[in-house]
Structure 1
Amino acid sequence: MSASAVRFADRLDKVETSAIRELFKLLGKPGIISFAGGFPDVALVDVDGIRAATLAALEQEPAGALQYGATEGYTPLREQLSSFMQSKGAPVAADQLIVTTGSQQALDLLGKTLISPGDKVIVEGPTFLATIQCFRLYGAELVSAPVDGDGVDVDHLEQLIVEHRPKFVYLIPTFGNPSGATLTLERRKRVLEIAAKHQTLIVEDDPYGDLWFDAPPPPSLLALSEQVPGSRDCLVHCGSLSKTLSAGLRLGWMIAPPELLAKAVMCKQFSDANSSTFAQATAAQYLKSGRMKANLEKARAVYAERARALCEGLRAELGDAIEFVAPQGGLFVWARLTGARGQVADGNEFSRRAIEQGVAFVPGAPFYCEQPDPATLRLSFATSDVEKIREGVSRLARALHAA
């Protein structure tokens, strides 16, 4: 078949290749230091624990690990995830969640089950780039709710809900990607009150909530919903093991009202029948082993040290040319070029200069569904040690002054 005979779906006109994935093509330069990716550090993966969990899965229930499984998920893993959520103050029964192939699949299932072409969906500005792409693929008209250092502006959010009557609102309340922001306890309660008042579905995406530094974040919206009558029925919660256990296992989960969960299961049947039972059995054994707590403590300490090194370096070497709020957890620093003293104020231009100096980051404009701020940028400290971070910041400073 010739290329001219291939007729693509109209919905592909609404999306384009990820700016981050395209940037990765430029990172083959020897010696480059990357603040670009959103990956966890594979050196922090508990390889010994996963190896033991794999063997336990094969020895104790090989048929369950090596055969097709239920679309809803492998029962022992759903039970472990239920216990995990309960330990964080969110009472969730095993049959109230489904296992997904990463939390990314949960977003895709939401698109399939909820979005018709032309439907309004409110997202944060900025928000996770793949969310913008996913929801637009299903024909959503995205509306941006502004974010500050304390998370989404809830007063503005309510105004947008009243004006647009969206199908749902998508939020990353804890250590957001890319914003790094954490929604305050007061704002979380307001979000729940707004959801109940306007009967608006809220999607809480929480892949980073366990990666706090000095103190735990406020409880999740799901946990707090017990305090706000009527809000639980307006909530979807998406979780992930990618940032805390292993990205390679590709496991996440979704908690939702029963009718939505049933539709999501139906659509997942069409997509992949079930997430890898082998990966699920391994994850179930790992969570059962109790090793997650110690490994999370290790990861938190490492990421906290790297975040401090990045923030201190940016302040010392770039000074008033850049502004940001230091994150309380997660993997990202969200910054904005000020243009002070006539220095570069465009993220794309700064990125070009930075790559020439041997350091990479992601310009911030693609993280907005509308009215992008070209002066913004996202820096990830996750995969570079402190020494590399300091050298990377020095290279950023050289790029700042390069012509």
Structure 2
Amino acid sequence: MAPTTSETTISNPTSTSSTLQDITNHTLDPERGAPGSKKELINLLRGWPSPSLLSPSILQSATKALLSDPSLFVPALQYGPDPGYQPLREELAAWLGQQYSTSTKSDEICITGGASQGLACVLASFTDPSYTQTVWASAPCYYLACPIFEDAGFGPGRIKAVPEDQQGGIDIDLLESMLQKHEAQHQHQPSHRNVPERKNADPYRKHYRHVVYLVSTCSNPSGTTMSLEKRKRLVETARKHDVLVVSDDVYDFLQWPISSDASAPPSSELGALLPRLSDIDLSLPPSEAATSSGKWFGNAISNGSFSKLLGPGLRTGWVHGTPDFIMGLSQTGATRSGGAGSQFAAALLAEVMKAGELGRHLQEAVRPGLQRRHRLITETIKHELGELGVTVAAQDGGRFGGYFVWLTLPGGLDGKAVAQKARQDEELIVAEGEMFEVRGDEAGARFKGNIRLSFSWEEEHKMEEGVKRLGRVLRGLLGEKC
């Protein structure tokens, strides 16, 4: 998510780093250096696309086409149908079907106001804190997802961290064990099925007993991708325990081959994509636990967004799931009062997709640009930080993607102390590992010895300089420990 809302500044209220708290509270301008500093601020926290990765000319052409035709602009400027602008649902179904090699249908897609708003609507419609037991979040976790769960009634004690394993992605064995332990602890309490629900789910929705949240491809912050075998096992686990799996799939189309040849040119070839968890769920017969009132709601959904593809300001995304789940999601109260979010932007994006501009932009600009940036930052880390003992999270499988690299610090260094000293001494903003602990269950998985660096935002020369500044910070702190 993830990746899914803006990451302008630190927003974790548990952080005790005074400098980063000052940035959060706007007593320091995150766009400028400290007063009197001669150094230009470098922000390697911000998970935004660089201006060079945006697409104003594509949107300009699509806007002209949209606003010159009354048959297009009249519905675009009116209230939209609850599941979203139908031409965009159809264009997305065709395009997603090609990307994932599936037969995606338009009635499996609901248009949202972006992945974060989509997650909030899913929780509003398909969970009830008086019935839904727990949210299980993969850790390290996209930190801005936690407040969305809190707003839905899942605060401390109701959200649990499930660490990633060495193979990448959420640890399925541990999740299964935690679910079984949870159910054993609650079997002598009044059955959750006998607890009166506060929300009205019928006839279009149901409430799930558990929610699992993760970023299954190019996870934020670790960059790991779950294997096909693990995806299948996660869906099987969800079906056994009445779980709704929500996967933020915002980086699926931002992947590229990893080459050991540093001189090889960037490649825009995406290659075969792993199936979404929602694809795996849809390929199986309906499960009893995910069926209610004769409808099949499924156990896994894909939460997608145009934010990383064409620009976060478009505030448009989609959810993919069973047709019954999609119809139920479209009945969220805030959606019915005005229709699906982002009606005009959805119409604009439909024109972009009709013209084939989305795929062209990804192939010619976004993927090569991110691949080049990723190669630069990893080479600079190796050159500047490798001798200090800094390690980068494994990037196996012949491909990588997303916006971030996840570093493990040497010598027992504390990421919070590193982030504070980097801001104070080097005008450098980095994300401390503790930000990505699951809020409300920080002890469930600790990341004090990690930091995350973004390679998507700063211009390439500033990104390279930022890593060099980080090296000076680490050398100073390691020297103090000797």
TM-score (norm 1): 0.88
| 2:275 pairs with 1:219 | yes
Distance in 1, matches of 2:453 and 2:102, equals 31
Q: Would the alpha carbon gap of residues 47 and 190 (structure 1) be closer, same or farther in structure 2, given more than 3 Å must change? A: same
Per-residue CA deviations over 1:67-92 (Å, capped at 9, x if unaligned) read 22123211111111111221122433
What does residue 111 of structure 2 align with?
Answer: 99
Residue 38 of structure 1 deviates from its aligned partner by 1.0
What does residue 316 of structure 2 align with?
Answer: 251
| 2:134 pairs with 1:120 | yes
Give the SS at the match of 1:175. Answer: coil
What does residue 190 of structure 1 align with?
Answer: 233
What does residue 49 of structure 2 align with?
Answer: 40
Q: Would the alpha carbon gap of residues 38 and 148 (structure 1) be closer, same or farther in structure 2, given more than 3 Å must change? A: farther
Matched letter for residue 226 of structure 2:
L
What does residue 350 of structure 2 align with?
Answer: 284
Indicate the larger mover: 194-203 or 106-115. Answer: 194-203
Aligned pairs (5 A) from 1:292-331: 292-297=358-363, 298-319=365-386, 320-327=388-395, 328-331=400-403
Match of 2:407 among 330, 335, 354: 335
| 2:283 pairs with 1:209 | no
Residue 23 of structure 1 deviates from its aligned partner by 4.1
Q: Would the alpha carbon gap of residues 287 and 133 (structure 1) be closer, same or farther in structure 2, given more than 3 Å must change? A: same
Give the SS at the match of 2:298. Answer: helix
Match of 1:240 among 283, 286, 305: 305
Q: Would the alpha carbon gap of residues 16 and 52 (structure 1) be closer, same or farther in structure 2, given more than 3 Å must change? A: same
What does residue 11 of structure 1 align with?
Answer: none
What does residue 6 of structure 1 align with?
Answer: none
Per-residue CA deviations over 1:239-280 (Å, capped at 9, x if unaligned) read 111101121110001123445434432323367643132211
Residue 228 of structure 1 deviates from its aligned partner by 4.5
Match of 1:54 among 51, 63, 66: 63
| 2:166 pairs with 1:152 | no
| 2:146 pairs with 1:132 | yes
| 2:87 pairs with 1:76 | yes
Q: Is the 8 A contact 2:84 2:339 kept in 1?
A: no
Match of 1:392 among 466, 473, 479: 466
Distance in 1, matches of 2:357 and 2:394, equals 29
Q: Would the alpha carbon gap of residues 128 and 90 (structure 1) be closer, same or farther in structure 2, given more than 3 Å must change? A: farther
Q: Would the alpha carbon gap of residues 227 and 260 (structure 1) be closer, same or farther in structure 2, given more than 3 Å must change? A: closer
- Flag structure 1 segments of 5+ consecutive residues without an equivalent: 1-14
Matched letter for residue 402 of structure 2:
G
Give the SS at the match of 1:402. Answer: helix
Indicate the larger mover: 41-50 or 120-129. Answer: 41-50
Q: Would the alpha carbon gap of residues 37 and 291 (structure 1) be closer, same or farther in structure 2, given more than 3 Å must change? A: same
Q: How many residues align?
A: 385
Distance in 1, matches of 2:250 and 2:164, equals 18
Q: Would the alpha carbon gap of residues 349 and 303 (structure 1) be closer, same or farther in structure 2, given more than 3 Å must change? A: same
Match of 1:357 among 419, 426, 431: 426
Residue 338 of structure 1 deviates from its aligned partner by 2.7
**Percent identical:** 31
Residue 103 of structure 1 deviates from its aligned partner by 0.7
- Flag structure 2 segments of 5+ consecutive residues without an equivalent: 1-10, 34-39, 184-208, 258-269, 288-296, 478-482
TM-score (norm 2): 0.74
Distance in 2, matches of 1:212 and 1:367, equals 22
Give the structure with the higher percent helix.
1
Distance in 1, matches of 2:179 and 2:13, equals 29
Q: Is the 8 A contact 1:58 1:65 kept in 2?
A: no
What CA RMSD, in Å, does the superposition of the two structures yield over aligned residues?
Answer: 2.4
| 2:411 pairs with 1:368 | no
Which protein is bigger by CA-based radius of gyration? 2
Distance in 2, matches of 1:147 and 1:254, equals 24
